[in-house]
Amino acid sequence: MLLSKLPPGMRYYLGAEARLRRRVEDTAMSVFEGWSYEEVLTPAVDYYALFERGMGVTEAQTSFRFTDNDGRMLSLRPDVTSSVARVAATLFADRERPLRLCYAAPVFRQQQQSHAEWRRENTHLGCELIGVGGDAADLEVLLLAAEILKAIGLGDSFCITINDVGVFNGLISDLNLDSASRESLRRLIDTRDVTELQNFLNENSIPTSSRESLARLVQLTGKRNVLDEARSVMTHANSLATLDKLADIWQVIESLGLENSFEIDLADVSGLDYYTGLSFKVFVRGVGYRVGRGGRYDGLTANFSSAEPAVGFVLSHDSLVELLGRNNSTDGNGGRETRSVNTDDLSKNFREALRRRTNGEQIRIELKR
């Protein structure tokens, strides 16, 4: 075993990159604070059962697991949301709603080596808005995410794609698909696999009306016109109601002049088991995979007590830092002036050093080797 070797998916942050990392985190946290979100710190180790409830079995199984002294299974936290939902249901059960909570914390997941998201330790910058639903809450977190991305210097190079799981769920609600077929259909739409989707629709004898709307769904990515197109091919009441809701949200985004930072993507059906309404992803020029995701999960707190509306998102701190670090490679001490203090006369020079520190200056003691 080589001492120099790191486990796959783990890394150091050193020098300029470590400073950049702190700056990005501070910026994000100050934006959260600016929207009245309160920071929470959750345990890095928790019961595996918590994450199974909070994330679902498949996702929870990506966690690093080990056993406690009493034999119960523990896990390095693979997400922060599960723990926050538990806080909302227990310690904060009687607190006035809405709860606005935010965090910056590393999460740990076992990843397939070959995939583009290779990190196994990744800091999540995230927030949860719990206890109040509706368009206003959805918009609040969308705008908050956009403000963070702008504040860290990604002004015009990001895109937040929005969807609502109600569109797809409406379309398939009377098809009576078993869970395996539903999952195949979901995956084919999510990967825009037009050819295999056509085969699926034929093999499963899907009625003609649903067939057309499902086949069109994969192409419904863009701005406002996407919603009009969708309306022309969908007949199911729930899907139509969801399109109205998305249109309301889009209307506000346009009126704020933010339509260049957002996109509607009705074919994004990746988080169906988790999200119950709005779902969104964050893409940034220069990174080949999503750097953040979020949405509404009104079912989440039901796993811990009574169901409450909840919406939130996470941004991958590590992906953002890596991108920003590639774009502007600053080096040195971050641009601050340093005063050297020599050590010929220890009392005199350390008095001088303390004086300068009181003034807030950056100093460097010249140690003789």
Partner 1 sequence: MITIAISKGRMQDDALALLAQAGVQLSPESLASRKLAIEDGNGDYQFIFVKPADVPVYVEHGIADCGIVGRDVLLETEADVLLPLDLGIARCRLVVAGKNEHVITRAFGMLRVATKYARIASSHFGSRGIPVEIIPLSGSVELAPALGLADAIVDLVETGRTLAENGLKVIEVITESTGRLVVNRASYQLKAEEVARLTTSLSNVLEGGTAP
Binding site for partner 1 (CB under 8 A): 114-116, 157, 159, 161, 191-196, 218, 221-222, 263, 265, 283-290
Q: Are 311 and 296 in contact (CB under 8 A)?
A: yes
Nearer Cβ to partner 1, position 49 or 159? 159
Nearer Cβ to partner 1, position 199 or 338? 199
Nearer Cβ to partner 1, position 89 or 291? 291
Q: Phi and psi dihedrals of 158, rounded to 5?
A: -120, 160
Coil, strand or helix: which one is 176? Answer: coil
Q: How far is the CB of 270 from partner 1 (least distance, A)?
A: 10
Q: How far is the CB of 181 from partner 1 (least distance, A)?
A: 15
Nearer Cβ to partner 1, position 245 or 290? 290
Nearer Cβ to partner 1, position 130 or 230? 230
Q: CA of 23: how far to CAs of 32, 152, 313, in Å?
A: 14, 8, 20
Q: How far is the CB of 259 from partner 1 (least distance, A)?
A: 13
Nearer Cβ to partner 1, position 157 or 169? 157
Rounded distance between C-alpha atoms, residue 102 and residue 351, angstroms: 42
Q: Are 248 and 288 in contact (CB under 8 A)?
A: no
Token output for 350? 């350390």
Rounded distance between C-alpha atoms, residue 235 and residue 94, angstroms: 42
Nearer Cβ to partner 1, position 31 or 264? 264
Q: How far is the CB of 281 from partner 1 (least distance, A)?
A: 8
Q: How far is the CB of 183 from partner 1 (least distance, A)?
A: 14
Nearer Cβ to partner 1, position 106 or 286? 286
Q: Are 135 and 248 in contact (CB under 8 A)?
A: yes
Token output for 263? 């996109």
Q: Phi and psi dihedrals of 313, rounded to 5?
A: -155, 165
Q: Are 64 and 76 in contact (CB under 8 A)?
A: yes
Dihedral in degrees, nearest 10, Cα atoms 84, 87, 92, 93: 110
> E-assigned strands of the chain?
38-39, 45-47, 65-67, 73-76, 99-108, 121-130, 158-164, 221-222, 262-265, 278-284, 292-296, 310-316, 338-341, 362-365
Nearer Cβ to partner 1, position 153 or 286? 286
Q: How far is the CB of 254 from partner 1 (least distance, A)?
A: 17
Q: CA of 246: how far to CAs of 139, 242, 308, in Å?
A: 11, 6, 21
Token output for 28? 């994000």
Q: How far is the CB of 191 from partner 1 (least distance, A)?
A: 5
Nearer Cβ to partner 1, position 88 or 267? 267
Q: How far is the CB of 265 from partner 1 (least distance, A)?
A: 7
Taking the CA atoms of the chain, what radius of gyration do you get in angstroms? Answer: 24
Q: How far is the CB of 223 from partner 1 (least distance, A)?
A: 10
- β-sheet with 278-284: strand ranges across: 38-39, 99-108, 121-130, 310-316, 292-296, 278-284, 158-164, 262-265, 221-222
Q: How far is the CB of 272 from partner 1 (least distance, A)?
A: 16
